Amino acid sequence: MASLEVIRGELADAHKDTRLNLQAVLEGGSLTPEQRWGVAVACAFAARNERLKEAIVNEAKKALANAEPVIEDARAAASLMGMNNVYYRFRHMIGKESYSTKRPGLRMNRLAQVLTNKVDFELVCLAVSAINGCEMCVQSHEKVVIEGGLSEDQVHDAVRIASVIHAAAVGLES
- Which active-site residues does the annotation give? 134, 137
The closest of 155, 174, 157, 169 to 43, measured between CA atoms, is 169
Q: What is the DSSP letter of 14?
A: G
* Identity of the residue numbered 1: M
